[in-house]
């Protein structure tokens, strides 16, 4: 399979972003941290080939509670995969997931509800992203974290493959941990 040139360039952009823009979290405000995480999320979206056709717009959905939501809205009207991004806030239910191309999962109080949402996301071939460390083991594909004063991320490759999503090799190379 030939990877489109823009997809390869996105990988280069992420690699340069991660190498030349290290973030020391100790002196960083929570607003700056949120903006950096949203930058990572934007690149994750660009570096993941969707398994299903994208409609007129790329739908980035949000569920649960997270301080990132205010910053995620800034991705509205950015472009990924040749489409404009539309950020959508969902109720805690999983019924609307079929319209989502990616899903940011904030804190969800009930574990059963989280598992239901993740199971539906996998069946709908949705890229799942979170910043809650315990969610990676629950089936989230990409999880942001702080490590050594920097923002890093882990990838659950097994779940990405179950969802039939193609992750860019540079994304996998830059991940702190890749679960297989």
pLDDT tens readout for residues 67-98: 899 999 999 989 999 999 999 998 755 567 88
* Pairing of β 48-49 and β 166-167: antiparallel
Q: What's the pLDDT band for 20 if we cut at 50, 70, 90?
A: very low
CA 105/CA 129 separation, integer angstroms: 6
Who wins on pLDDT, 19 or 121? 121
pLDDT at 96: 75
Given CA atoms 153, 57, 162, 121 in this order, what sign does their dihedral have?
Answer: positive
Sorted by where each starts, the structural domains of the chain and their CATH numbers stand as 5-179 (3.40.50.2300)
**Ramachandran angles phi, psi of 163, nearest 5°:** -85, 0
**Where does the pLDDT of residue 26 fall: very low under 50, low under 70, confident under 90, or very high at 90 and above?**
very low
Does 25 have pLDDT greater than 50?
A: no
| Alpha carbon distance 50, 39 (integer Å) | 19
Q: Are strands 166-167 and 142-147 parallel, antiparallel or unpaired?
A: unpaired
Which of 24-28, 46-50, 160-164, 169-173 shows the lowest per-residue confidence on average (mean pLDDT)?
24-28
pLDDT single digits (tens) 101-148? 999 999 998 999 999 999 999 999 999 999 998 898 899 999 999 888
- The pTM for the full model equals 0.84
């Amino acid at each position: 399979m030939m990877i489109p040139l823009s997809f390869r360039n996105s990988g280069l952009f992420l690699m340069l972003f991660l190498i030349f823009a290290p973030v020391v979290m100790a002196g960083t405000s929570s607003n700056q941290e949120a903006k950096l995480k949203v930058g990572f999320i934007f690149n994750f979206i660009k570096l993941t080939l969707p398994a299903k056709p994208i409609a007129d717009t790329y739908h980035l959905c949000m569920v649960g509670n997270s301080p990132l939501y205010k910053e995620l809205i800034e991705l509205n009207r950015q472009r990924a995969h040749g489409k404009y991004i539309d950020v959508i806030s969902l109720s805690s239910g999983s019924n609307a997931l079929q319209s989502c191309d990616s899903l940011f999962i904030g804190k969800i109080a009930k574990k059963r509800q989280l598992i239901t949402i993740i199971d539906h996301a996998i069946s709908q071939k949705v890229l799942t992203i979170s910043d809650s460390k315990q969610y990676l083991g629950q089936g989230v594909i990409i999880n942001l974290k702080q490590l050594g004063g920097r923002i890093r991320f882990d990838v659950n490759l097994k779940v990405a493959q179950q969802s039939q999503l193609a992750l860019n090799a540079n994304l996998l190379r830059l991940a702190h941990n890749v679960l297989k």
